[in-house]
Amino acid sequence: MAQRTRADALSRERIVEAAVALLDADGERGLTFRTLTERLATGPGAIYWHLANKGELLDAATDSVIADALTAEPGVGSPQDEIRAVALGLFEAIDRHPWLSTQLAVQLSRSPWGTVTPRIFESIGRRVSALGVPEATWFTATSALVHYIFGAAGQNAANAQVLRFGGTDRAEFLRAAVDAWEGLDPGEFPFLKSIAGQVREHDDREQFLTGIDLILTGITAQGRS
C-alpha cells in the first residue's frame, strides 16, 4: 500500500519532465532509470508504476515535446503561413532537444501508428489539403514536407551538438569551412567556390524556411497543373 502511495505522489508528468531534462543534458545515454531515480529522489518502483521500460520513457518524452511544439501552432492565416509556422515550431523543438531527431526517425519507421507521427502528419496534412491541390497528392506532398522537416532540423541539431561538444564557435566553424571551399581547385569544384561566400553569413532558420517555401511552391504548382 505504501508503494502505491509513493507511485501516485510521483506523477507521470513529473517523470517525463525529468526524463526530458536528462535527455537534453546528456542525450539518450544519459537517461537511465538509475539517473532518473536519483534526479527525482525516489525508488525505481515509483517510476515503473507509470512506465515499464526505457522505450516507453523515450516515447513519452518525445510525445510530450512534440505536443508542446504543436500546441503553439497558429489557428489563423493562409495554409502556407500555417505550414511555415508548424514547421518552424518543430525545427525549434528539435534544435532545443537534439535527441528528438533520432526518436522521431525511430517512431516514424517503427511505429507510425503511435501518438507522435499521426499528430505531426495531421497538423501538416490539414494545411496541405487546404492548399487546393488534388486529394491524390495529399500524402506525397505531406510526406515531402515532414521528411524535409525531420532531415533539415535533425542535421541542424547534429551540427549544433558537434560544435557544443567540440567547443567551437559556429561563426568560427563556418569561416573555416568557407576558407577551405574557397581554396578548392576551381576546375574541379566551381560550384562550391561560387557559393562559399553565401555559407559564411547564412541564417539556419531562414535557410530552413526557404526550403519549406520551395516545397510549397512545387506542391501548389503541381495543383495548378
SS3 19: helix
User: For residue 15, what is its C-alpha cell?
Assistant: 517523470
In this predicted structure, the answer to whether residue 46 has a pLDDT above a threshold of 90 is: no
pTM of the model: 0.85
Can you give the pLDDT at residue 9? 59
Q: List, in sequence order, the alpha helices (H) in 43-187.
A: 44-48, 54-71, 79-96, 100-110, 116-129, 138-166, 170-182
Domain borders along the chain are: 76-224
> Are the C-beta atoms of 142 and 87 separated by less than 8 Å?
no
Q: Which of 4-13, 64-73, 214-223 has the lowest mean pLDDT?
A: 4-13
Q: Which three-class secondary structure state does DSSP give residue 112?
A: coil
Mean pLDDT value across residues 45-69: 91
pLDDT at 174: 86
Q: Pick the residue with more confidence: 2 or 168? A: 168
Given this model, what pLDDT does residue 109 score?
84
Say if residues 42 and 95 touch (Cβ distance below 8 Å): no
pLDDT of residue 90: 95
Q: How confident is the model at residue 153 (pLDDT cuts 50, 70, 90)?
A: very high
The per-residue pLDDT for 80 is 94
What dotted CATH number matches 76-224? 1.10.357.10
Q: Kindly provide the b/e burial profile for residues 35-51, where b requires at least 16 CB atoms within 10 angstroms of the residue's own CB.
A: bbbeebebeeebbebbb
Residue 72 DSSP code? T
